[in-house]
Amino acid sequence: MADQLIRVNSEIFVMASDVLGIRFAGGRNVTVATSTGCYSLDVERDKTGIESMNRFISEVNKALRNHH
C-alpha cells in the first residue's frame, strides 16, 4: 500500500512518512512538524488537544504500518 495523506487542518494534508514530530503546547494548541514546516493541528470541537493529538498519531501510525 502507498504512503497515505493525513489531514492536519482544513488547508493542510501531509504524507504520513513526512511527519517528524508532534508537540502539545497546552489547551487546544498542537503543532505537527514535517520536513517542509510546522502546522497547527485542527482540534475537533468536542475534543481536547490531547485527544486530537492522539487521534492524529493513531492515523499516522496506522498509515505507516500499512505502508510497509
Residue 2 in this model has a pLDDT that exceeds 80: no
Entry pTM = 0.83
Q: What is the pLDDT of residues 15-63, one digit of tens each?
A: 999 999 999 988 889 999 999 999 999 998 888 899 999 999 999 999 8
Residue 1 CA from chain centroid, whole number = 19
DSSP code string of the chain? ----EEE-SSS-EEEGGGEEEEEE-STT-EEEEETTEEEEPPPPTTS-HHHHHHHHHHHHHHHHHHH-
Q: Are 14 and 34 contacting, i.e. CB atoms less than 8 angstroms apart?
A: yes
Segment 6-21 mean pLDDT: 94
